[in-house]
Structure 1
């Protein structure tokens, strides 16, 4: 392949009808995540109704940089361009950080949020709120178990001794997974995402579901993404009985084995807010939290959808008390604007 000379002028434009070309660029980039894929943004677009905006930087016709954006519009949470929507990662890949950032601002929304990637100068940077948890997978189950710190290893052994069944699949497990996940997030005070988002991801991306059952009833379930040798357990949770049964421990340990069998060598436990219970849970598994750098530009008051914000405290407490059918009815309408 002939590469453009570095002294050629760089240009930025919004791509249209070039998803395959963009996904090839993303897959070849060492810093990419599945949330950079055009396929991810299209799943969000179809599943949540939020428009994808794909900016590419080119030199001599060759794609050298890329910024995936989701156009979030919500009557409750305002408007923003987010890279990437409904994701924990995104941001600029490759060259052209400043011109890509300028092009994003020129799209006319009041706020632009970048979740990782190369960050433009003079934007507001937050490297304190979130931690990311990633580590290599061990060679086999025994090595994986021994890699878990002693206290958590003891809990995991109890989980392995319980009468739990592990099943894996795709769309055939989607309804079961959604029931478990919806109950889990309701209990945390968070609106559930639209069912269509999960189905679009399962249909169009390298993704599957692993579910833990007790006496035939699903008690924990996780929808995971696979990308360039890394497994991303992304939407997971458990019902109330899961804690007693240690079903979440069983689920993540089983997912490590399942991912190894699929050829993965890294486990990305996702992000958690620093100082929270989920962050402590991941540290107990032997994952060291690394700060995630996010950047934001705003032409006015920036939106804040952080559930730890005190102004949302009453909303969270109220949501936890909603009957599950009511939460599942209202949740997708609200959550499609969170992004």
Structure 2
């Protein structure tokens, strides 16, 4: 068995492996690599294990700068999932060892594996994130019945308020970006640059769509969704806070689920949320059961697991300040910061 960095000529072979692998995800695909490199100029090393010329394991790695000095290594940035996919424990162990060697050679402070299952019991684990996934049923009646009564009532409220949905592509980017960036500013979180979303459409094509929600012809909520194999993945979204009383979010996700079953998708992946947060409880109220995401770390220099998330008390003054910024200023500053927050 041989382990080496992927060459450009092997991109299709890599993607074919990802599509067939149990642990493979959209975030392992070469398209995600191109988006991150074009938008943030991250340096990447895509490790592949070969047996008789065929790929039998993969590990995409990105080197990400820290705000002041130093770097971290992440598999993969801005992805809910990532990490290592392989055919056997032997391949897993060898890929992991090579990754550790690269982390030491590159003098990074940490190496993060965003696995859906634990990679190595000996590695430090962050028990903060959970994902929410369930089947999309065939037809409105079964899908509505799978949603608890209170949220069914909220969906019907949105319908009764006259909310309308529309699904489209890059032509909806401006409308999407306004409600998305407004929502993030109100949460005290930097937004991605507009060009990042343009790159997503360029690289993902029909796998990327936007659903908007309108009230009296005004777009009040929007979600960018990825469609990967049989999976619907609402990923970036937001809404105008003054319209939340019209149940815009419940209506939006119901309409997205409707689009999913009408187009033959089988799985609704509600994405990652932090334990005991508002989004965590929102997804549970929709009838989704949380599944732990055991992100694991290799720390070449020792120390603690990185803690760059809004629950960190050290970040509270920054979050409070960001919430008070005018939206145009927040949207100018955000892209300079987001590359350090993978």
TM over 0.5: yes
State the match for 1:100 in structure 2: 95
- Tell me the residue number matched to 1:123: 123
Q: Does 1:14 align with 2:5?
A: yes
Q: What SS is found at the alignment partner of 1:250? A: helix
Change (3 A) 1:303 1:79: farther
What is the 5 A alignment of 1:1-339? 10-17=1-8, 18-76=10-68, 78-95=70-87, 96-107=91-102, 108=106, 109-117=108-116, 119-126=119-126, 128-205=127-204, 206-300=207-301, 301=303, 302-339=305-342
Distance in 1 (alpha carbons) for counterparts of 2:29 and 2:258:
26
SS at match of 2:318: helix
Give the CA deviation at 1:162.
1.4
Cα separation, 2, equivalents of 1:240 and 1:116 = 34
Question: Whole-Å Cα distance in 1 between the matches of residues 217 and 145 of structure 2?
Answer: 30
The aligned counterpart of 1:5 is none
Distance 2:148 2:121 in 1: 40
Contact 1:41-1:85 at 8 Å conserved across structures: no
Q: Give, in whole Å, the separation in 1 of the partners of 2:253 and 2:279.
A: 13
CA distance in 1, matches of 2:278, 2:230: 28
> By how many angstroms is 1:121 displaced?
4.8
Q: Scaled by the length of structure 2, what TM-score is found?
A: 0.92
Q: CA RMSD in A?
A: 1.5
- Deviation string, structure 1 residues 252-297 (Cα, Å, up to 9, x no partner): 0000011122221110000111111110000000001011111001
Report the more deviating stretch, 31-40 or 228-237.
Answer: 31-40
Describe the SS at the equivalent of 1:113. strand
CA contact (8 A) 1:38 1:68 kept: no
In the superposition, the TM-score normalised over structure 1's length comes to 0.93
Shift of 1:122: 2.2
Contact kept? 1:159, 1:247, Cα under 8 Å:
yes
1:179-229 CA-to-partner distances (Å, cap 9, x unmatched) read: 111011111111001212211111211111111112222111111111120
| Stretches (4+) displaced over 3 A | none
Segments of structure 1 that go 5 or more residues without pairing to the other structure are 1-9
Distance 2:217 2:13 in 1: 44
